[in-house]
Structure 1
Amino acid sequence: MEGVAWLMHRYLMHGPLWFIHRSHHEPRKGWFELNDTFGLFFTAASMVLIYHGLRGHPQLLGIGLGLVGYGVIYFFLHDVLVHRRIRLPFTPKHGYLRRVYQAHHLHHATHERDNAVSFGFAYVEPVEQVKARFATAQEQSGSEAGDAR
């Protein structure tokens, strides 16, 4: 599921669906942002898959349950841990949770569609690699802007 999520985030949300996803890269104006419609879509999709899976298509049940499982993990890591939609009494200081936290903040270090890094979520590269890719993307962006002038 992480591979599918990475591809969708990189090529759809930071591509033709940016007009929806952009709200997630801007300061929050309330509890709901337009980007939350993706979560609603995937919830509905998992419900349909589970429904049909329970009615004679067991492979769809597995896909639907996998989607639900990924959604639960995503909600706690992304919405709770990183974006604090539910307040936590701590900020991760070590290990895997710290890497998730830092990598996603690097993803949000740019408010533009292009030049972002770290499109996955449950799998996180070492933060030093993400920082290096972010610096490279910013340099390329700056050099292209400089060349255009």
Structure 2
Amino acid sequence: MSATRLIDPTLFSEDGSALVGSVCADCGTTAFPAQRSCSRCSGDDVSETVLPREGTLWAYTVQAFEPKRPFRHDGEFAPFGLAYVDLGPVLVESRLTVADVAALSPGLPVQLVTEPLFTDDDGTVVHGFAFAPLEDAR
């Protein structure tokens, strides 16, 4: 079996099961990815927070052109969904596991998953995060 790694471990909780953002103690703003200072009030009293694993689609599209390396899939290109996912305290921009616009709608319940993005030159499979419709993720 080949080795695997997360594209950026700082984006994920220690066990890799959730995304990590930051929350400002001064104004309550939540950000993803985690920030050292608040983008709303410029305060520096921020701390890491584990974000909800489930949310809803806020806005979405399908990317029909191949991205540049290292973000393109290995092998033949296939269009993929992109969305803003409403996790409650924050909107997260993310890939979707679904690329069929007819299967997507605002408010659709989704759940965080990890999926292979590409393979490093040394054979390590690099995983990123995506959101899947809740019924597909279970």
Interval containing the TM-score (normalised by the shorter chain): under 0.3
Larger Cα Rg: Structure 1 or Structure 2? 1
Larger relative helix fraction: 1
Considering fraction of residues, name the structure with more strand. Answer: 2
Taking structure 2 as the reference length, the TM-score comes to: 0.26
- Normalising by structure 1, what TM-score? 0.24
